[in-house]
Chain A
Amino acid sequence: MQLQWMKYLFNWLVKQKEANNMKQFYQFIVKEFYHIFRDRKTLFILLGMPMVQIIIFGFALTNEVKNARIAIVNQSSDKISTKLIQQIDASRYFELYAETKDPKSIEGLFKKGSVKIALVIPPDFETSLSNQNKGSLQIIADASDPNVATTLTNYLSVIVQDFKEELYPNQTMPYSILVDTRMMYNPQLKGAYNFVPGVMAMVLLLVCTMMTALTVVREKELGNMEILLVSPINPIKIILAKAVPYLLLSIINITTILLLSYYILEVPINGSLLLLYAESILFILVSLGLGLLISAATDSQQSAMFISLIVMFLPTVMFSGFIFPIENMPLPLQIVSNIIPAKWFFIIVKSVMIKGGGILLVWKETMVLIVMMSLFFGLAIKKFKIRLA
C-alpha cells in the first residue's frame, strides 16, 4: 500500500522535473530567437537569400541562349535567302548583327567577340535549290564555349529545317524516318526544373549548416559556453535549442522557394507536397547535424565559416548534380559525390517535385539521408561530450 503511494509520488516528481526541463528548453529557444531577431541584417539575409537566388537563377543565370548575335554572309542576295534571314532574325534566339557579302570579314567579328555564330549562304543558293532540289548552307560557330556553340548550331539547324518545310511542304523523301522526340517531365526544356531543387539544397545548407555552426561557435568565442558548461544544465540541450530556430526559418525558406517557383517560374509540383516537406525537413536535419559537428570541431567563427564554405558549399555546388552532371564525371569523382548530402536531396526533390514520384521512388535516397543525419548528430554529441571529459 505504502509502496504504491510512494510510486505515485515518485512518478509525479519525475513529471514535474520533466516539465521543468521542457520549460528550460523552451526558454533556450526563446533566447535563440532573440539572438536572431535582434540581428536584423542577418535575418534579412536569411529570409531574402532564397528570393534573390530564385530570381538570379530564374532570370539572369540560365543556360538557355537568347538573342545571340549572328552574322550572315549572304553571297546570294535573292528572294529565298532574304526570307531565310528574316526568319532567323525574327526568332527569339538570334539577333542579326551584320550582313555582308565578304566571307573573310566574319573572322574579325568572331575575334572581337561581336558574334557567336555565322551563316554562309553561297552565291548559287537559289538556283541550286530550284534546279537540283539541293542547297547547301554553312554554319560557323565560335566554339570557344562549346556548349553555347552546340546549342546555337542546333537552334539554327531547326530554323533552317522549318524554313525548308515551308518552302516545299509536300515534298517527302523517298525513305524518310520520322523521329518524334518527346521531352518527358519538362517539355519546354526549362532550366528552372533543374535549378529550383538545386537552390533549395543550397539555401538549406547555407542557413542550417553555416548559421548553426556560427551561432554555437560564437558562444564559445564570447566565453558564454564556459559558463554554460560550468552550470548544471546539459550542454547538449543548449546546442539542440540552437538548432530549433533554424529549423523553423528553413521551413519558411522552403515555402518561399516553392511559392516563387510555382507562381513565377511556373515549375509544377507534381508529387505530394507533404512528402516534399517531409524530405526537406529530413535534409534540414542533416544540415543542422553537420553544422553542429562543425561547431564542435572549431573554436572560432572564422574557421567555422571557412569550413562551412569550403567543406560544404563548394562540394555541394560541384557534386550535387545541380550544375555539373555527375554522369559525366570520372569514376573517382562520382564516388566522391556520394558523400555529399545535397546530391541525394537533389535527386529526391527532382523525383518528387518534377516527376511526381512517391516515397517508393525515393526510399533509397531517403535512407541515405537518414543514415547521414544519425551519423552527424551522433558524432556531434559525442564530440561535445569528449570536450567535457
Chain B
Amino acid sequence: MNKTAILVENLSKQFGHFKAVDQISFEVAQGEIFGFLGANGAGKTTAMKMLCGLSMPTSGKATVAGFDVYTENESIKKSIGYMSQKFSLYEDLTVKENIKFYAGIYGISPKQIIQKTESLLRQLSLEKEANVLVGQLPLGWKQKLAFSVAIFHDPQIVFLDEPTGGVDPITRREFWNLIYEAAEKGITVFVTTHYMDEAEYCNRVSIMVDGKIEALDTPSNLKSNFNAASMDEVFIQLARKAKRSE
C-alpha cells in the first residue's frame, strides 16, 4: 500500500457568506497523478491554495506531505513544487539563469545546481539554448522548462494549476510524458485542467461543482458510472447541476 501524500477531511473555506470550498474530503497516494477538475468558480483554485499554504482554511483538516496546513506551512512549502499556466519563467533571464535562480530559492547548493542543470538540459535537449533568453523560446518549450524547474528540487508533491493552457495538442502530449516520468520517480502530481482528454491521463479524477466534490474515481469508473463515452460527457453531466457561475 502506498503512503498518503495528501489527506483532506471536510476542508472548507468561507469568504463572508460565500462557501468557496464546502466540506471536501479526499486522499491522494504517493506517486499518484490526481486530476482536480471543475468549472470556473467551482472552488478549485481556492482548494489548491489552501493545500499550498497560501491560504488558511476556515475549517476541516488537511495534511500535505504529512504536514498540517494550519501549523506547518513552512515545512509544506519546502516539500512541494508549483507551476501554473500564468507562471512563466523570467523572460529576460536565460534558461540557465532561471534554473539557478529558482533552485537557489529552495536552498540547493551551487555545486548540485550545476550538476543537475546539465542533466536537465540534456534531458530536455536544450543544451544549445542554455544561454538563450527564455523569452525567445517557443511556448511549449517554456512550459516544459517551467515544469522541470518546478520539480528541480525533488519535491514530494507538485501542484500544477492548468499547466497546459494555450499549448498545442502535440506539446501537451509531450508535457504529459514529463508528468509520467515525474510520477514514476515517486513525485505525487496534483493537477487541475480544462482539457478533458488530459483528465483521461490521470490515475484518479475528482470533479468539483459549487464548492463540493461531486465525483471522485478513476476515469474509466467514472465513465461507466455516468454511462458516458468520454470524460467530457461526465463533466458536462455534472457541471450542468452547477447553480453558481463565476
A residues adjacent to B (C-beta < 8 A): 20, 23-24, 27, 31, 34-35, 38-39, 222-224, 226-233, 388-389
Closest to A20 in B: B107
Expressed in whole angstroms, the Cα–Cα distance for A229 and B159 within the complex equals 14
Tell me, rounded to whole Å, the shortest Cβ–Cβ distance linking B228 to chain A.
34
Do B92 and A230 touch across chains, with their CB atoms under 8 A apart?
no
Q: Once the chains bind, are A27 and B104 in contact (CB under 8 Å)?
A: yes
Known: A20-B107, A31-B101, A230-B82. A224 touches B74 (CB 8 A): no
B23 at the A interface (CB under 8 A): no
The answer to whether B105 and A231 touch across the interface, beta carbons within 8 angstroms, is: yes
- Nearest CB to that of A23 among chain B residues? B104
**B88 is an interface residue with CB less than 8 A from chain A:** yes
Q: Which residues of A contact B100 (CB under 8 A)?
A: 27
Question: How many angstroms between the C-alpha atoms of A231 and B107 in the bound complex?
Answer: 10
Please indicate the chain A residues that have their CB under 8 angstroms from the CB of B116 in the complex. none
For B93, the closest partner residue in chain A by CB is: A34
CB distance from A249 to the nearest CB of B (A): 17
B80 within 8 A of A: yes
Q: A123 → chain B, closest Cβ, in Å?
A: 77
Chain B residues with Cβ below 8 Å from A222 are: 86-88, 90-91
- By the criterion CB–CB under 8 Å, are A35 and B92 in contact? yes
Contact of B86 with A39 in the complex, beta carbons under 8 Å: no
* B 75-90 contacts with A by CB, 8 A: 77-78, 80, 82-84, 86-88, 90
Q: Does B232 contact A (CB under 8 A)?
A: no
| Residues in B86-115 with C-beta less than 8 Å from chain A | 86-88, 90-93, 97, 100-102, 104-107
Contact A233 B54 (CB under 8 A): no
Collect the chain B residues with CB atoms within 8 Å of residue A31's CB: 90, 93, 97, 101
Q: Which residues of chain B are within 8 angstroms of A39 by Cβ–Cβ distance?
A: 92
Q: Are B82 and A226 in contact (CB under 8 A)?
A: yes
Question: Which A residues are CB-close (under 8 A) to B54?
Answer: 229-230, 388
Q: In the complex where A34-B92, A226-B82 touch, is A232 in contact with B74 (Cβ < 8 A)?
A: yes
Closest to A21 in B: B107
**Contact call A230/B80, Cβ cutoff below 8 A:** yes
Task: List 18 additional A-B contacts (Cβ < 8 Å) besides A38-B92, A226-B82, A230-B53.
Answer: A23-B104, A24-B107, A34-B97, A35-B90, A35-B93, A38-B93, A38-B133, A222-B91, A223-B84, A223-B88, A224-B88, A226-B84, A227-B102, A229-B54, A230-B77, A231-B82, A231-B102, A232-B107
* A223–B93 CB distance below 8 A: no
Partner pick for A232 among B83, B90, B106, CB 8 A cutoff = B106
Chain A: CB-nearest residue to B146 = A227
Q: Which B residues are in CB contact (< 8 Å) with A24?
A: 104-105, 107
Beta-carbon contact of B105 and A233 below 8 Å: yes
Q: Name 28 A/B residue pairs within 8 A (Cβ), A-sorted.
A: A20-B107, A24-B104, A27-B100, A27-B104, A31-B93, A34-B92, A35-B90, A35-B93, A38-B133, A39-B92, A222-B86, A223-B86, A223-B87, A223-B88, A224-B88, A227-B83, A227-B84, A227-B102, A227-B150, A228-B105, A230-B52, A230-B54, A230-B77, A231-B106, A232-B105, A232-B107, A233-B105, A388-B54
- For the complex, what is the distance from the CA of A233 to the CA of B83, rounded to whole Å? 16
Interfacial chain A residues near B82, Cβ < 8 Å? 226-227, 230-231
Q: How many pairs of A and B residues are in contact by the CB < 8 Å rule?
A: 67
Among B77, B86, B93, B150: residue with most chain A CB under 10 A: B86
Query: B90, A226: Cβ atoms under 8 Å?
Result: no
A116 to chain B, nearest CB (A): 52
B56 within 8 A of A: yes
Q: Are A224 and B90 in contact, with the CB atoms below 8 A? A: yes
Query: What are the 9 closest A-B residue pairs judged by CB atoms, nearest first?
Result: A223-B86, A223-B87, A230-B82, A232-B77, A38-B92, A231-B105, A232-B78, A27-B104, A233-B105
Closest-CB distance, A44 to chain B (whole angstroms)? 16
A230 to B52, CA, bound (A): 6
Shortest distance between the CB of A15 and any CB in chain B (Å): 15
In the complex formed, the residue of A with least CB distance to B78 is: A232
Docked CA distance A20–B104 (Å) = 10
Chain A residues, Cβ within 8 Å of B101: 27, 31
In the assembled complex, the Cα of A23 lies from the Cα of B104 at a distance in Å of: 9
- A237's nearest neighbour on chain B, judged by CB, is B105
Whole-angstrom distance between the alpha carbons of A24 and B102 in the complex?
A: 10
Q: Closest A residue to B83 by CB, please name it.
A: A227
The CA-CA distance from A231 to B56 in the complex, in Å, is 16
Chain A residues contacting B53 (CB-CB under 8 Å) are 230
Question: Closest residue to B88 on the A side, CB-wise?
Answer: A222
Binary per-residue interface labels of chain B (52-71) against chain A in the complex, 1 for a CB within 8 Å, 0 otherwise: 11101000000000000000
Neighbouring B residues of A23 by C-beta, 8 Å: 104
How many angstroms from the CA of A31 to the CA of B103 in the assembled complex?
Answer: 13
- Collect the chain B residues with CB atoms within 8 Å of residue A231's CB: 77, 82, 102, 105-106
Q: Measured between alpha carbons, how far is A39 from B90 in the docked complex, in Å?
A: 13
List A contacts of B106 (CB < 8 A).
231-232
- A35–B107 Cα gap in the complex (Å)? 22
Q: Are B87 and A224 in contact (CB under 8 A)?
A: yes
User: Looking across the interface, which residue of chain A has its beta carbon closest to that of B75?
Assistant: A232
A232–B65 CA distance with the chains assembled, in angstroms: 15
- Among the interface residues B74, B84, B87, B97, which one has the most CB atoms of the partner chain A within 10 A? B87
Interchain CA distance A20-B170 in the complex, whole Å: 41
In the complex, A122 Cα to B224 Cα: how many Å? 112
Q: How far is the CA of A389 from the CA of B58 in the complex (A)?
A: 12
**Chain A nearest Cβ from B64, distance in angstroms:** 12
Q: Which chain A residues lie closer than 8 Å to B91 at the CB level?
A: 222
Chain A nearest Cβ from B231, distance in angstroms: 27
**Cα distance A23–B93 in the bound complex, in angstroms:** 19
B205 CB, nearest partner CB in chain A, Å:
23
Closest to A37 in B: B92
Q: Which residue of B lies closest to A24 (CB)?
A: B104
Contact A226 B92 (CB under 8 A): no
Please determine whether B86 and A226 come into contact, CB atoms closer than 8 angstroms.
yes
